Chain A
């Protein structure tokens, strides 16, 4: 089945700088790549997603890039704020009628004021 690797596991950045999280996947049939943000004690919340027919998507300070050839996708948070501190998960969904998501291991992002 699909496997997703996510790096780094821990990321500390200064407020106002950019943060980047990288994920790679194995199944070339995967066609949907969501990113979730999870704060302590809370459920994961979708923050942005990208489908395989796109290479780049931006929602405000969030940018996701998808490189299908390399089977990699990434999340970039520009102008980070303390409120961006949380756990972030990438995920991939393969085609074939099964909509289950395979998640990366997560990245703990700390934005230092």
Chain B
């Protein structure tokens, strides 16, 4: 089992550019979560899918962030018009039944 896979591991973008982050959950897991980690804010929930359906996006900044799960094997988090304050480690986690969440290695995003 390869665990949760996230690509890219590192991404550097210029202010105003778009960034797309990818997550492949553990095979057979029905739930996918996105979190953001910064020194100041810690680990923050962004959004959650169950059986590919969006369940809760209450943590997502509404205007520039969007997430999709087009099939059970991957989810994407897209940030439009990136800003320096979007710099963070974006973590994807998957879960079989909702309890234990297994985290991927994260994507370290740096917006210059």
Contacts and interface: CB of A to CB of B under 8 A. Distances in A.
A103 B55 contact: no
Interface string A69-91: 00000000000000000000101
B101 A98 contact: no
Nearest to A91: B43
Contact of A99 (B35, B59, B98): B98
Classify chain A: how many residues form its interface, as a range: 20 to 34
B48 interface: yes
Given A1-B58, A99-B95, A100-B56, A34 B43 contact: no
Given A89-B43, A105-B42, A106-B42, A99 B100 contact: no
A98 B104 CA distance: 20
A100 B103 contact: no
A98 B43 contact: no
Given A34-B100, A43-B105, A99 B43 contact: no
Contact of B101 (A1, A34, A105, A106): A34
Given A32-B99, A34-B101, A100 B45 contact: yes
Interface string A101-113: 1111110000000
A34 B99 CA distance: 9
Residue of B33, B42, B50, B104 with most partner-chain A CB within 10 A: B42
Interface of A: 1, 32, 34, 36, 42-46, 49, 89, 91, 93, 97-106
11 contacts: A43-B103, A46-B102, A49-B100, A99-B31, A99-B99, A100-B56, A100-B59, A102-B45, A103-B35, A103-B42, A106-B43
